[in-house]
Structure 1
Amino acid sequence: MAGASSDSLAAVRRDLDPVLVSGGVPLASELFSALRTVDSSAPLRRSLTDPSWPVERRTAVVGSLFGDKVSAEALTVLNSLAERKWSRARDYGDALEELATIAVAASAERGGSNGGLDGLGRLSDELLSFNRAVEESHDLQRALTDPQAPASAKGNLAERLLSNGSSEARLLVRQAVEAPRGHKPVALIREFVDVVAQRQKQWIAEVTVARPLTPGQQERLAAALKGLFGRDLTLDVAVDPELVGGIRVQVGDDVVDSSLQSRLHDLQRKMAG
């Protein structure tokens, strides 16, 4: 996505995160079902994204179509998307797909230890293992992409391949093979893995220091970051002598930079300006 769509997706991801976290797999199932309805009608996509329509008219379309068919949480997501600006009509569906995937990832996150990192790692492993199995078998590739085969049959086959996989993994692979939205199923699953990886970054503090930290320093840093971000974080520490001094920490999109190098750059910018 680009332009207005990129900004809108970033905003709804931030604003709707509590809803997606609490909704988990049941909410994701509703959102994926709504996505199939949206994808089935070009006029519907245009009505949900037409910038000439007032917000009230676009949300009225959501209400008339989904109001008595989905939960209040799902309706909140659908309305929130309709309230935003989208560069292309398809971007509404792409955003809906990503939000559903985030809800699945949040469910895996809650079920893991070590904060949510283990659950997210397990979900990624399940999805990548499924892809490897498919990519190693031409028969499976043909079966899962056969345009003549019923979508439900392909979904059932995908679930059997997962054996004892988690409910989160089963939902995502079924979605990928039943409604790939113009992608190969394995390509869509890789996109799902990318969304999970973005979620994982929220549990990893990428720390850059000028000199190696002692175990005691790492413990104190971990405690300080927990107080700052409100959760336990896994430290990924790298040493960069060019940092000169101080420390740089990145957690997801958030950056805390107290390095001397950063302060020098700030001073240079002020002198130049």
Structure 2
Amino acid sequence: MASATSESIAAAQKELESTFAHADLAVADELFSALDVLDGSAALRRSFTDPSREPQVRTGLLKNLFGSKLKSPTNSILEALVSKRWSRERDLSDAVETLAVSVVAAQAERTGLQGLEQLESALLGFRRTVSGSHDVQRALTEPQAGAEAKQKLAAKLSPQASAEARLLIDRAVTAPRGLRPEALVERFAEQVAARQQRWIAQVTVAKDLDQAYRERLSTSLNRYFGRELKLDVVVDPEVVGGIRVQVGDEVVDNTAAAKLNDLNRKLAS
């Protein structure tokens, strides 16, 4: 993925986190509908990604296109995206899909890590079921079959799916965007798994921690990051001493190895 697109998606994800947290599944559904509009018109994609147009001009075009038809969070997400720079026209469409999945994941995340794990499990379970049957694959890719028929089949294959999983599975079987439905479901699951890293604290130490220390560390990290984290302790003798903690993209490194490397850099400069 080209740098401009990567930077734009990362920036949008960070800027819109509070929007995701308060959005409901209707917002994700609207984003997918907006994605269909973009996918159906190369002219629109060019208009929204033309770097010669100022961001406010692009957001103005968006308002003219959708008017007051969309919920406020949906408008906020789309405006944030069209105001950014994209390496290719299609990257904007892909970004809308990515943020729609982020909204769904944030909805599942309201029950914590467990909600995300359940969503990922439902998606991967559906993928395994479809991948294991050529008849099902043919049925889900049959051009003559309507969207409702495909949704009904998907529901039979995943009867225990939550509302969040149901939305993503239905999307994959009715509008796979050039992919096989099970491949798109897998991509959705990968995005959900990436979000789970926000709830997992990877702790790297030189030797294993006893239970009492783990409990104290867990309490401290939960307080520091503001949520109940799951500890993943990795023993690596090369860290020498101290502790390294990574939660999502945030790293706290207090190991002797890190301090030594920092000292070496300072001496070399």
Q: What is the TM-score of this pair, normalised by structure 1?
A: 0.96
Name the CA distance, whole Å, in 2 between partners of 1:71 and 1:24.
10
3-state DSSP of counterpart to 2:23? helix
3-state DSSP of counterpart to 2:179? coil
Structure 1 counterpart of 2:243: 247
* Correspondence 1:7 to 2:7: yes
Name the CA distance, whole Å, in 2 between partners of 1:60 and 1:156.
39
Query: How many angstroms does 1:3 deviate by?
Result: 1.0
Query: How many angstroms does 1:160 deviate by?
Result: 2.8
Q: Which of the residues 139, 144, 162 maps onto 2:135?
A: 139
Query: How many angstroms does 1:207 deviate by?
Result: 0.3
Query: How many angstroms does 1:204 deviate by?
Result: 0.5
Structure 2 counterpart of 1:74: 74
Q: Which of the residues 219, 224, 240 maps onto 1:223?
A: 219
Structure 1 counterpart of 2:188: 192
* Correspondence 1:117 to 2:113: yes
Name the CA distance, whole Å, in 1 between partners of 2:27 and 2:93.
16
Query: How many angstroms does 1:217 deviate by?
Result: 1.1
Name the CA distance, whole Å, in 2 between partners of 1:214 and 1:254.
25
Of stretches 54-63 and 144-153 in structure 1, the one that deviates more from structure 2 is: 144-153
Name the CA distance, whole Å, in 1 between partners of 2:242 and 2:24.
39
Name the CA distance, whole Å, in 1 between partners of 2:166 and 2:14.
26
Of stretches 222-231 and 143-152 in structure 1, the one that deviates more from structure 2 is: 143-152
Report % sequence identity: 52
Quick check: 1:120–1:196 contact (8 Å CA) kept in 2? yes
* Correspondence 1:213 to 2:209: yes
Of stretches 159-168 and 232-241 in structure 1, the one that deviates more from structure 2 is: 159-168
Query: How many angstroms does 1:153 deviate by?
Result: 2.4
Name the CA distance, whole Å, in 2 between partners of 1:159 and 1:46.
37
Structure 2 counterpart of 1:257: 253
3-state DSSP of counterpart to 1:235? strand
The one-letter amino acid of 1:134's match is V
The one-letter amino acid of 1:223's match is T
Structure 2 counterpart of 1:35: 35
3-state DSSP of counterpart to 1:255? strand
The one-letter amino acid of 2:76's match is T
Name the CA distance, whole Å, in 1 between partners of 2:76 and 2:155.
30
3-state DSSP of counterpart to 2:2? coil
* Correspondence 1:19 to 2:15: no
Name the CA distance, whole Å, in 2 between partners of 1:154 and 1:60.
37
CA distance 1:247–1:74, change in 2 (3 Å): same
The one-letter amino acid of 2:139's match is A
Structure 2 counterpart of 1:152: 148
* Correspondence 1:234 to 2:230: yes
3-state DSSP of counterpart to 1:69? coil
Structure 1 counterpart of 2:171: 175
Name the CA distance, whole Å, in 2 between partners of 1:93 and 1:155.
23
Query: How many angstroms does 1:129 deviate by?
Result: 0.9
Paired residues, number: 269
Structure 1 counterpart of 2:44: 44
CA RMSD of aligned residues (A): 1.1
Name the CA distance, whole Å, in 2 between partners of 1:55 and 1:243.
46
Name the CA distance, whole Å, in 2 between partners of 1:30 and 1:146.
26
Deviations 1:163-184 (CA, angstroms, capped at 9, x unpaired): 1311011100111111111111
The one-letter amino acid of 2:215's match is E
Q: What is the TM-score of this pair, normalised by structure 2?
A: 0.97
Unaligned segments of structure 1, at least 5 residues: none
